[in-house]
A and B are shown apart, each in its own frame.
Chain A
């Protein structure tokens, strides 16, 4: 019963809320912040697919984010390309790069993978920072156009951009939902739980890992391209490691390896950060320890912990009902296993 309320009820309410949000606030600044957090969410979902579901902590995601942003920026500003063509090309460029890097990076495991991707991320950042003639270096890239018109709809106003980003985000969530609940998603989780075991039961781990890596970079690139067209100015800083850590913070606070985690974490942290504007430079004084404490005490973040409590409650109920039979079995259905990972 509770589950039906949860699923059938909450999702449409959330979507509805997102749709009416601009009319409720009427505040351009709030709409701006919300759009930005939607954009981050897409990147966080990409990271979640790789780190949360497959168990490979990639620290190169800011690099891919920046590649997406810069591809779009350079193609529109310097090559004067049509926006949507550049947009698609930016995604292709990021994915192809992700494919090439993934081919090599995924040969490594655990610590080596984290360190390898950390270095890849840094190389991407340094290239963007130093390649003055192409990327304008530290001066940054100015004058990136807003998303081009689709038929009669233009995306010049903040409101229309909000809905564009929201629509893309919803599609992304739908895709992730479908992936996670499919056999492919289970394969990823199997790899996370034990790569050797997954291989033993006939899963081609390399193929699957590469798939998820490319998907993950694709979402990072999508997030970056949207960011570029929304903020309309990009500097090499968006490729900095700090951005990877930001994404990781959103993911961890929300709940790594959960479907709703990226939404919860991103919205929460972005809004808290906005409230603590005066702390901007020092926000890590708060988020650093939170990140560490979360990993120690609530490694599954907010969404994961809530799901855990629900499972426990259901467990108790069932245990009560079955007390006479003295029969206790795990009440976690396959579906839930996927959800909380």
Chain B
């Protein structure tokens, strides 16, 4: 029983990280209808920049995360301007290949600058906490709280502000949004900024309990794809729910099935879903 509760808690932790990454991915998909394969590279860059800020410049953890969010967000904007914008009328296969090109570049870039070694990120929240008979580190608790806070903020931004509403309008109908006077270019850039920022937050939060290395984004991004297919491409609540579903099934699978194969669970889940329903669950007419 205790193991079960402990594992549920772990599931909540990784689920939060997955949900943040999937949110960024689903926002971009909603706006531009491209599966951004380079999103995992943004996640990786976020981890490295936070690490660099902390180790080299001695910034505080939260300040380092802030810098990382801004930098990675700007990388996202740059990506949109330089690559996806020129490709907006190209056949869909081109976006995917271009995104893969960016992914390869950023991974090689990280390896070039920071080396291929696995690095640990120090955290000011390493202390162990006992709560309701559960033992966990402060960092894990922090991940959950911070992720939920970010999600609530994002929700408020999208629902309550004009800019947020323009993002939703554009995801519903790009031409329609353009007609009523929304600057679709600006919204697209903004979306990439948010998406990159979310990836940076996710990786900075998760890095202290995992490791930082050039390939750290690969598995996460694959799982994020699983999640947004699970929750419906472009759906925001879907990404959050999907993230937690995957988090729970992974942590439970690791305990009760096999730790070696825990990474496979997500993909088997996806293969099963797509086998039964080729356009994903809750798809609102795949694009």
Segment among A12-20, A172-180, A279-287 that sits at the interface with chain B:
A279-287
CA distance A291 to B278 in the complex (A): 29
A111 and B92 form a contact (CB under 8 A): yes
Segment among A73-81, A113-121, A306-314 that sits at the interface with chain B:
A113-121
Within 8 A of A (CB), among B228-250: 229, 233
Segment among B42-50, B101-109, B119-127 that sits at the interface with chain A:
B101-109
Segment among B67-75, B139-147, B166-174, B256-264 that sits at the interface with chain A:
B256-264
A284 and B271 form a contact (CB under 8 A): no
> With a CB–CB cut-off of 8 A, which chain B residues contact A10?
none
Mark contacts of A242-262 with chain B using CB atoms, 8 A cut-off: 1 yes-contact digit, 0 otherwise.
000100100010000000000
Nearest CB to that of B87 among chain A residues? Answer: A296
Q: Which of A111, A252, A285, A299 contacts B287 (CB 8 A)?
A: A111
Q: How many residues of B contact A (CB 8 A)?
A: 48
Instruction: Please tell me if A317 contacts chain B, counting CB pairs below 8 Å.
Output: no
Instruction: Please tell me if B205 contacts chain A, counting CB pairs below 8 Å.
Output: no
Q: Which of A108, A118, A290 contacts B222 (CB 8 A)?
A: A118
Within 8 A of A (CB), among B254-287: 260-261, 263-264, 266-268, 270-271, 274-275, 278-280, 286-287
Instruction: Please tell me if B226 contacts chain A, counting CB pairs below 8 Å.
Output: yes
CA distance A245 to B83 in the complex (A): 18
Instruction: Please tell me if A134 contacts chain B, counting CB pairs below 8 Å.
Output: no
CA distance A104 to B92 in the complex (A): 21
B100 and A291 form a contact (CB under 8 A): yes
Instruction: Please tell me if A319 contacts chain B, counting CB pairs below 8 Å.
Output: no
Nearest CB to that of A132 among chain B residues? Answer: B260
A291 and B279 form a contact (CB under 8 A): no
Nearest CB to that of B86 among chain A residues? Answer: A296
Within 8 A of B (CB), among A100-152: 104-105, 107-112, 114-116, 118-120, 122-123, 126-127, 130
Mark contacts of A287-301 with chain B using CB atoms, 8 A cut-off: 1 yes-contact digit, 0 otherwise.
111111001100100
Q: How many residues of A contact B (CB 8 A)?
A: 40
A112 and B96 form a contact (CB under 8 A): no
> With a CB–CB cut-off of 8 A, which chain B residues contact A241?
218
B97 and A295 form a contact (CB under 8 A): yes
Instruction: Please tell me if B253 contacts chain A, counting CB pairs below 8 Å.
Output: no
CA distance A24 to B229 in the complex (A): 54
Instruction: Please tell me if A236 contacts chain B, counting CB pairs below 8 Å.
Output: no
Instruction: Please tell me if B111 contacts chain A, counting CB pairs below 8 Å.
Output: yes
Instruction: Please tell me if A41 contacts chain B, counting CB pairs below 8 Å.
Output: no
Q: How far apart are A284's CB and chain B's nearest CB, in angstroms?
A: 4
Q: A111-B233, A288-B105 are in contact. Are A116 and B90 (CB under 8 A)?
A: no
Instruction: Please tell me if B164 contacts chain A, counting CB pairs below 8 Å.
Output: no
> With a CB–CB cut-off of 8 A, which chain A residues contact B94?
295-296, 299
Q: A111-B92, A241-B218 are in contact. Are A248 and B100 (CB under 8 A)?
A: yes
Q: A116-B271, A119-B270 are in contact. Are A282 and B97 (CB under 8 A)?
A: no
> With a CB–CB cut-off of 8 A, which chain A residues contact B100?
245, 248, 291
B274 and A291 form a contact (CB under 8 A): no
A281 and B268 form a contact (CB under 8 A): no
CA distance A110 to B86 in the complex (A): 20
B226 and A119 form a contact (CB under 8 A): yes
Q: Which of B96, B112, B261 contacts A285 (CB 8 A)?
A: B112
> With a CB–CB cut-off of 8 A, which chain A residues contact B103?
288
Instruction: Please tell me if B116 contacts chain A, counting CB pairs below 8 Å.
Output: yes
CA distance A282 to B92 in the complex (A): 28
Q: How far apart are A79's CB and chain B's nearest CB, in angstroms?
A: 25
Q: Which of B98, B116, B270 contacts A116 (CB 8 A)?
A: B270
Q: Which of B105, B106, B109, B278 contacts A108 (CB 8 A)?
A: B278
CA distance A130 to B229 in the complex (A): 26
Q: Which of A51, A123, A283, A284 contacts B268 (CB 8 A)?
A: A123
> With a CB–CB cut-off of 8 A, which chain A residues contact B35?
111, 114-115
CA distance A238 to B104 in the complex (A): 17
Q: How far apart are B109's CB and chain A's nearest CB, in angstroms?
A: 6
A292 and B105 form a contact (CB under 8 A): yes
Nearest CB to that of B109 among chain A residues? Answer: A285
Q: How far apart are A51's CB and chain B's nearest CB, in angstroms?
A: 7
Instruction: Please tell me if B61 contacts chain A, counting CB pairs below 8 Å.
Output: no
CA distance A104 to B270 in the complex (A): 12
Q: How far apart are B115's CB and chain A's nearest CB, in angstroms?
A: 10
A284 and B107 form a contact (CB under 8 A): yes
> With a CB–CB cut-off of 8 A, which chain B residues contact A130?
260-261
Mark contacts of A51-95 with chain B using CB atoms, 8 A cut-off: 1 yes-contact digit, 0 otherwise.
100010100000000000000000000000000000000000000
Between A and B, 16 residue pairs with Cβ closer than 8 Å are A55-B93, A109-B286, A110-B286, A110-B287, A111-B96, A119-B222, A119-B226, A241-B218, A281-B116, A282-B108, A287-B104, A290-B101, A291-B97, A292-B83, A296-B94, A296-B98
Top 8 A-B residue pairs of the complex, sorted by shortest distance between their CB atoms: A288-B105, A291-B101, A292-B101, A284-B108, A288-B104, A107-B278, A284-B104, A119-B267
User: 10 additional contacts, CB 8 Å, given A111-B286, A248-B97, A291-B100?
Assistant: A104-B274, A104-B275, A112-B278, A114-B35, A115-B270, A119-B266, A285-B105, A288-B103, A295-B94, A295-B97
Footprint of A on B, CB under 8 Å? 34-35, 83, 86-87, 90-94, 96-98, 100-109, 111-112, 116, 218, 222, 225-226, 229, 233, 260-261, 263-264, 266-268, 270-271, 274-275, 278-280, 286-287
Footprint of B on A, CB under 8 Å? 51, 55, 57, 104-105, 107-112, 114-116, 118-120, 122-123, 126-127, 130, 241, 245, 248, 252, 281-285, 287-292, 295-296, 299
